[in-house]
Structure 1
Amino acid sequence: MKKLIYSFILTGTLFTSCSMNEEPAGKLNDETAIQTTADATKFRNGIYSNIRSVSNGTFIYSQEMQADMFVGTQINGNRLGPFSISSFTSSDNDLEDLWEYPYKYIANVNYFLPKLEVLINREGIDANTKLLLERYRGEAKWARAYYYYYLTDTFCQSYTNVEPTTPASGMPLETVYHPSSEYSTYPGRSSLAETFNLIEKDLADAYNDLEAYEKSSAKDAQANLSANAPYLSTFTVLALQARIALLKGDNATAIAKAEKVINEGSYTLTDRDLYPAIWTNDEGSELIFVPYGDQAQSSAVAAIGEAWINSSTDKADYVATQNALGMYDSEKDIRYEWFFEPRALSVNGASVVAPCFVKYPGNPLLNTGSTNALKNLPKPFRLSEMYLIIAEASASTDANKANTALNTLRAARIADYEEQTYSGQNLVNQVREERTKELIGEGFRISDLRRWNLGFSRSTAYEDIYEDVPSILIPASMNVTYEPGYYRLILPIPTGEMETNPQLEGQQNPGY
């Protein structure tokens, strides 16, 4: 790790000091930053800001542009170009951010946890305050698990594609805050098994702390057990546990956790007539967790829509491929209606109608002016994913369960849907396609292709109103093909990290 003091709270001077030998009044440092419950609450708010960052923006769309659902236009200014044309190297700045920021946020958690323990164990603390601080501890451990999940899913081979105990197959693990410029103290990569063990341990601890708070007499004890919760709950823990179990190939656990969310939570798949509000207003009956953000915090919310479209409707950096369009029933599937919009793009003096991806149209409440800022709050866990997890995890062992989950989701998305029964590889393929249709643009595609051991080729064989689209596309973006197991399905460790941390020598991902 590049050892900097990464905390959002450990910087800044409120007043100047008369003596250079004195601590300035109000200065925050490692020792004084968290001394009261109020201090802990402020730091906890910063952790939620970090969660909001890693579940949105570049952490979501970078690898979406790498896969088969989107293709670059000639007016994109090479924004995200290295991902789209598959030319990225370990020295690209965009890769540095994907690695560095999660580790910054892990450092924040590692700083916070022991400070919480001091407050929790102080003499004379009342029971309600202790319970509140333990809740904060659970939230912090969930956050650390989420950051390590993101890093592992981005920079490591899929758990089911490698022997997970292989040395240096996982991430460098940090659980203690000790900023240092001594490069010899930096950790090398752990095994995948060790990385996942830490993630699972943190999630188990988080569940226990959050469950205790939810069962308490606190007036807001159950405030986050319903849809659109701005703070973490036991259901958010279960949702991440289900996702992690699926990645591990632990299908029984994946099913059990996902079913608990469905059966014990108050969430429902959003009605078709209310479906647009999920994406425009960032609210819906199936949203398990929506990190808080309002107009006052708009500057800290990612303009995720800008990765694809522009506030000027005649411009777009990336458009949908025929691979994407061809998956949907264009007349009956609410997702086709809501995710893709024909827009006349102005490219090199020509006007060409193209399939623009508008899943992130911008929430008007996050605009600070008259222009659409294309900002949306992240929606990292939705009920639909739980149905998809059940369908995939049971497809090879319980076709009835898989078909039930698949049909339930499709009935909520497709008008006049008639239930179908699939079996064998056809069932597996149907589940995979449904997952792709539902989660398009949400950061899952490269991970899914890698663990399914599939490759891809982008199709630009457009039809009807889109037949002229190839004329405005970047040829190098159109012609990308990945074979199964292609090394670029895993991102490289950034060069800066490799050069800074001597323990990483010989541990770069293959191909880089």
Structure 2
Amino acid sequence: MNKTLFGYTTWQRDITNTELGSSDDQTTWVDLYKRIAVINSTLEEIDRLDLKTDQEKADYYRVKGESLFLRGQFYLILANLYGKPYNPRTASSDLGVPLKITSGVEHDKDKDTQFERATLDKIYSQIESDLLASLEAFSHSSKHVLYRASEKASRLLLGRVYLHMQEWENAKNILEPLFGNIALSSLVAGDTLSEDNRFLNEDNTELIFSQNSQFSQVCWTGNAPEFCVSRELYNLYDENDRRKGCFKKNVDTDSLALLYKYNTGNYQARVSDVLMLRAAEAYLNMAEACAMLGTDDATANKYLNELLRNRIVDYQDQTYTGEELVKQIRIERRKELCFEGHRWFDLRRYSVCEKYPYKKKIYRQFSFYNSANVLERTATYVLEEDDPAYVFAIPKNVLEFDTKPMPDNQRPERIPLEQ
């Protein structure tokens, strides 16, 4: 596999460990906080504008809605990379990341620690507040473009946030208005997936929002030394499931490649696999919220079956109840949303779910190749249940900034199993 991703994919204490040394571990932290800083300035500046025309007012609300949506999204990512999964019982004491929502640079010469980690309950409260405020702003400006945030995008993202918070009723209520305004695309009505018929492209009716780049086209090729799709995931799909056509066996390596989910190639990656919001997630989120409530299994089955009727040829509606219903929704979430940036966050939140918690031990084989792409060795690494490596360490430069550093997240040394 690509050694630049060694630290991430084998859960090393230092995620930037490439086996050849370490690179900068603050890239993600700095990038997201830079974006938040721009948003904070934007929100303050637009409130100083003298708005005269209806168009100026509409533009004001659009920019405000987009800014609040993005800040909520960025803090959700930060909290889930550098903080524990949200647990309602411990969120008031679990530390997340510094919460900065103003543009000014604060400095108190009498303080040894300038930046303190906010607790998760405060961070999620701010995320919720931002997304609710974005919904209010978008109600005054209804323009919808795939690559810009919208009322539908804010509503779907907030529904996801409520799933993290285990606020099932809130999730159901915020998602409900989406249905009737979004549409599932059908994989069963058209041709099978192929190079000319990819699952997700910018014309897909499911897409609500897409941002950032596409990672999968350069990594999930199945070619040595790149990544391949796991057989465990592949075997979850029924033979009549059209989604199985996203994957193709690599002739040279017998590995599975991700070929037909996205358009690939230079200037072709117009749908992101880093952050994308689409109708299928809304259906799965709604099904999960209803199932977790314990009083609305019929509605949960309705949304789950509607999704699967659009994915599996000759699908027959199923009726599940209780824990089995939740299990099936989680399985379909893995199958439907694979390679879209959900699985890691989902495993985290499942582990602290008060109702039907789910944990698993994960094994990862990492193959080492020399400069001629000749296999040298393969090592197996294990991520235990409730492993501290589900949380990233705070970047070294951030810790070194203050005289008295903010508390770090402790990650264990990770060594391979003996072969």
Which residue of 315, 319, 341 corresponds with 1:421? 319
C-alpha displacement of 1:504: 4.3
Would the alpha carbon gap of residues 440 and 503 (structure 1) be closer, same or farther in structure 2, given more than 3 Å must change?
A: farther
Would the alpha carbon gap of residues 233 and 361 (structure 1) be closer, same or farther in structure 2, given more than 3 Å must change?
A: closer
Distance 1:268 1:275 in 2: 17
- The aligned amino acid for 2:256 is P
Distance 1:118 1:392 in 2: 42
Distance 2:60 2:162 in 1: 28
Would the alpha carbon gap of residues 77 and 141 (structure 1) be closer, same or farther in structure 2, given more than 3 Å must change?
A: closer
- The aligned amino acid for 1:102 is L
Between the aligned residues of both structures, percent identity stands at: 23
Cα deviation, 1:8-45, whole Å, max 9, x if unaligned, reads: xxxxxxxxxxxxxxxxxxxxxxxxxxxxxxxxxxxxxx
- The aligned amino acid for 2:127 is I
Q: Which runs of 5+ in 1 are unaligned?
A: 1-75, 215-222, 292-299, 346-351, 368-373, 461-470
Which has the larger helix fraction?
1
2:364–2:382 CA contact under 8 A, matched in 1: no
2:217–2:264 CA contact under 8 A, matched in 1: no
Which residue of 13, 32, 39 corresponds with 1:102? 32
Relative contact order: is structure 1 or structure 2 higher (C-alpha 8 Å, sep ≥ 6)? 1
1:492–1:509 CA contact under 8 A, matched in 2: yes
- In structure 1, the partner of 2:14 is 89
1:304–1:360 CA contact under 8 A, matched in 2: no
- The aligned amino acid for 2:218 is E
- In structure 1, the partner of 2:248 is 341
- The aligned amino acid for 1:385 is E
Distance 2:168 2:213 in 1: 35
Distance 1:324 1:358 in 2: 15
Which residue of 262, 277, 295 corresponds with 1:381? 277
Would the alpha carbon gap of residues 141 and 147 (structure 1) be closer, same or farther in structure 2, given more than 3 Å must change?
A: same
C-alpha displacement of 1:473: 9.8
C-alpha displacement of 1:511: 3.4
Which residue of 426, 438, 455 corresponds with 2:360? 455
Would the alpha carbon gap of residues 274 and 198 (structure 1) be closer, same or farther in structure 2, given more than 3 Å must change?
A: farther
1:255–1:390 CA contact under 8 A, matched in 2: yes
Which stretch of structure 1 is more off in the superposition, 124-133 or 389-398? 124-133
Which residue of 247, 250, 255 corresponds with 2:167? 250
Would the alpha carbon gap of residues 404 and 450 (structure 1) be closer, same or farther in structure 2, given more than 3 Å must change?
A: same
Helix, strand or coil for the counterpart of 2:256?
strand
Q: Where do 1:62-461 residues align within 5 Å?
A: 76-89=1-14, 93=23, 95-119=25-49, 122=50, 125-160=52-87, 162-166=89-93, 169-179=95-105, 186-214=114-142, 223-224=143-144, 229-263=146-180, 265-272=181-188, 273=190, 279=199, 281-291=201-211, 301-309=213-221, 314-315=223-224, 317-329=226-238, 331-338=239-246, 340-345=247-252, 352-358=253-259, 361-363=262-264, 366=267, 376-378=271-273, 380-396=276-292, 397=294, 398-453=296-351, 454-458=359-363
- In structure 2, the partner of 1:475 is 378
2:69–2:154 CA contact under 8 A, matched in 1: yes
Helix, strand or coil for the counterpart of 1:481?
strand
Would the alpha carbon gap of residues 144 and 314 (structure 1) be closer, same or farther in structure 2, given more than 3 Å must change?
A: closer
Helix, strand or coil for the counterpart of 2:208?
strand
Would the alpha carbon gap of residues 425 and 95 (structure 1) be closer, same or farther in structure 2, given more than 3 Å must change?
A: farther
C-alpha displacement of 1:323: 1.6
TM-score norm. by structure 1 comes to 0.68
CA RMSD of aligned residues (A): 2.8
2:96–2:117 CA contact under 8 A, matched in 1: yes
Would the alpha carbon gap of residues 436 and 269 (structure 1) be closer, same or farther in structure 2, given more than 3 Å must change?
A: same
Distance 1:496 1:279 in 2: 41
Distance 2:291 2:209 in 1: 27
- The aligned amino acid for 1:251 is W
Distance 1:77 1:144 in 2: 32
C-alpha displacement of 1:268: 2.9
Aligned pairs, number: 383
Distance 2:411 2:256 in 1: 34
- The aligned amino acid for 1:128 is Q
Q: Which runs of 5+ in 2 are unaligned?
A: 18-22, 352-358, 366-373, 413-419
Cα deviation, 1:185-210, whole Å, max 9, x if unaligned, reads: 73211111110111111111111111
Helix, strand or coil for the counterpart of 1:380?
strand
C-alpha displacement of 1:146: 0.8
Would the alpha carbon gap of residues 233 and 430 (structure 1) be closer, same or farther in structure 2, given more than 3 Å must change?
A: same
- The aligned amino acid for 1:336 is K
C-alpha displacement of 1:341: 0.8
Distance 1:197 1:473 in 2: 49
1:403–1:422 CA contact under 8 A, matched in 2: yes
